[in-house]
Amino acid sequence: MYDVPEQQQVVQEGDPALQQPVIRQMVVQLRAMDSYGTYDTWSDARVLDPLVLTKERRRAIPVVGDPDETTLSRVKAYYNAIAQMIERETGLLAVPVINLTHEGFGRALILVGKLVVVDKILRDVHRFGFDSLDAVVAEAGKLLGKAVAQVGEHRVVAEL
């Protein structure tokens, strides 16, 4: 498992990105998946910190490796958060579907009715992360914008 000691935490408590809707939803999703209560005493910044991969952190992760359960939960939380935001914007149920091999290759889909609104190929999931929380917000914003536009264009299919 890739985990960062607290003294090396990159995400700071006062980071304005922590108030962004997608980041708030990711915290909700990660805390919901924490069946052992590990995150109960952690701040939101500490919960999200492993998502931010600086150059040093990326170098510490092997090029080839299998994703662990903690990393998989971060991937699921990211796509669950986007699906929830799509629901909020469109008023229609959005369902994330993630299919991964044990080696960390696969696909993430978000379906609204019979419409596929997000289709991302996933590679090297054991290295899943972003340069910053602002990068998470930007990437999620792009996916959300495209998904909501697709639902608008194909509302009949999305309502099936």
Domain ranges of the chain: 16-158
| Residue 38, SS3 per DSSP | helix
CA-CA distance, 58 to 63, in Å (whole number)? Answer: 9
| Residue 55, SS3 per DSSP | helix
Q: What is the mean pLDDT of residues 74-94?
A: 94
The domain covering 16-158 belongs, at the CATH homologous superfamily level, to Protein of unknown function DUF269 (1.10.3100.20)
First-to-final CA distance of the chain: 41
The pLDDT tens digits of the residues spanning 19-62 come to 899 999 999 999 998 888 888 889 888 888 888 888 888 777 77
Q: What is the mean pLDDT of residues 12-20?
A: 85
